[in-house]
Amino acid sequence: MGREDQIEEREVLDSIFPDEITDISETEYRISIALDIPDDKEEPPIMLLTVRYPEEYPDKAPFLELSASQNAIPHPHLNIAEDKEQLLRGLDATIEENLGIAMVFTLVSTLKEAAEQLVLDRKAAIVKAHEEAVLAAEREENKKFQGTPVTRETFLKWRETFLKEMEEGRIREEEERLAELKKARIKEPTKLTGKQLWERGLAAAGQDEADDDTVIEEIQRLEVGEN
């Protein structure tokens, strides 16, 4: 009965997948499975499931092989060469549940759904990672606008820093003041002649007689020299 079941199932599959199924031998064929990914802008991934009947099928599981179609455009969220073992292992439970009856259509449907869900999960993971990165950046930005909670420890630390800065500022100002005074003492005062003092009004009343005599003598000397 095994071979009769195999022929009957093959005829049913031919009516379900008229353009997707290709015979390799009397007991082996390949089914092309195009995935349907909602809102996917990429070229739909296409998997090739090769099925080979053992003599005891359907009482024994079929031999299965999964590959990508030739010249297929790589999909960013599905690599059949790397994912095939995971996808085929996902069929183990379905195979166990269907031993004794034709199961290839059920295996194709289960495999298609699993691959589509794998793509959706990976796309969702990327979106989630991006959202978490954005939220983390926002949290870091918000920290700039949040003050440090005031406690006794934080206040004492601030007070110590504030007093230290004040003292450093006072010392710096004092050093600058002393430097200016020192500079003023070193600078040689400009000596003016008696006539210049007189003309500038610096020979003011209140100077002692010695200063007056000096000024007058200087003026007279200048006038004699000019004559």
CA dist 58 and 71 (Å) reads: 33
Confidence at residue 205, expressed as pLDDT on a 0 to 100 scale: 47
Indicate the pTM of the whole model. 0.59
CA dist 154 and 169 (Å) reads: 22
Confidence at residue 33, expressed as pLDDT on a 0 to 100 scale: 95
CA dist 108 and 39 (Å) reads: 23
141's enclosing H/E stretch is helix 104-143
Tell me how many helices (H) and strands (E) the chain has: 7, 4
Question: CA-CA-CA-CA torsion for 176, 178, 182, 185, nearest 10 degrees?
Answer: 120
Per-run averaged pLDDT (10 residues), the chain, 227 residues: 87 95 96 88 88 95 93 85 95 96 96 95 91 86 71 80 88 86 66 59 50 56 55
Q: Which two tokens stand for residue 64?
A: 């299965």
Q: Which two tokens stand for residue 18?
A: 């008229």
Which of helix, strand or coil describes residue 32?
Answer: strand
Instruction: Using alpha carbons, select from 31, 48, 141, 130 the residue that is nearest to residue 87.
Output: 48
Confidence at residue 40, expressed as pLDDT on a 0 to 100 scale: 75
The answer to whether 62 touches 53, Cβ cutoff 8 Å, is yes
Confidence at residue 14, expressed as pLDDT on a 0 to 100 scale: 95
48's enclosing H/E stretch is strand 46-52
Place of tokens 């990976």: 122
Confidence at residue 93, expressed as pLDDT on a 0 to 100 scale: 96
For the segment 105-134, what is each residue's pLDDT rounded down to a tens digit?
999 999 999 999 999 999 899 989 988 888
DSSP 8-class letter at 75: B
